[in-house]
Structure formats: C-alpha cells, structure tokens
Amino acid sequence: MLRAPGIAQLEHAFKTPTLRNINQRAPYMHDGSVATLAAVIDHYDTGFVKRPSLDAEMRPLGLTPAEKTDLLAFLDTLTSVDAPAVIPVLPQ
C-alpha cells in the first residue's frame, strides 16, 4: 500500500499489477479477500466501500450478465502457457 500523509486519495492506494496471467493468481484484491475473477467483476459492478480516499471517477459499472461473461472471457485470453524459465548455472 502506498503511504501519502495528508492526501486522502492516496490513503488506500495500491500499485496495480499487470493483467497478464490474471486467472492464475487468485485470490484477488490487495488483501486476497476475493476468491474468483467473477467475484472481482461483481465487486466492481455493484459498488465498493465508500471512503474519502475513493477516487471521484470510481462508480459501479452496471454490467449486464452478458457483459460480465464477456469480460471474464476476455480476462481468460490474457493467460499464456509459457515455457518454464531456465536458470543458468553461472561460473563460480
């Protein structure tokens, strides 16, 4: 969590990680409180904790069930099957 004394908008700010391979990184949210991507979508669709630090641009999404399904399908496309990283043996 970022700390910025005196700046309400930054009191509960977090650095946002990449969406690459997002469906392999459950649980979600900064505290691991949401178990599935579908639940994350529901969280942002229906609203969230209202606090002074909440950005004025944040508001419920109001998605239809079809839009939620499409968004989840899109997030699944951001996952790839990567070859395992080979760690080289370095000379001593």
CA-CA distance, 65 to 58, in Å (whole number)? Answer: 20
Residue 82, pLDDT score? 84
pLDDT at 16: 78
Q: What's the rounded mean pLDDT across residues 22-29? A: 91
At 82, the amino acid letter reads D
In three-state form (DSSP H/G/I as H, E/B as E, the rest C), the secondary structure along 58-86 is CCCCCCCHHHHHHHHHHHHCCCCCCCCCC
What's the whole-number mean pLDDT along residues 10-39?
A: 86
Query: 37-83: per-residue pLDDT in tens?
Result: 999 999 999 877 777 777 788 889 999 999 999 999 999 999 988 88
Check: CB of residue 78 under 8 Å from CB of residue 19: yes
- The domain locations on the chain are 18-76
pLDDT at 27 over 90: yes
Measure the CA angle with vertex 18, ends 71 and 55; round to 5°: 75
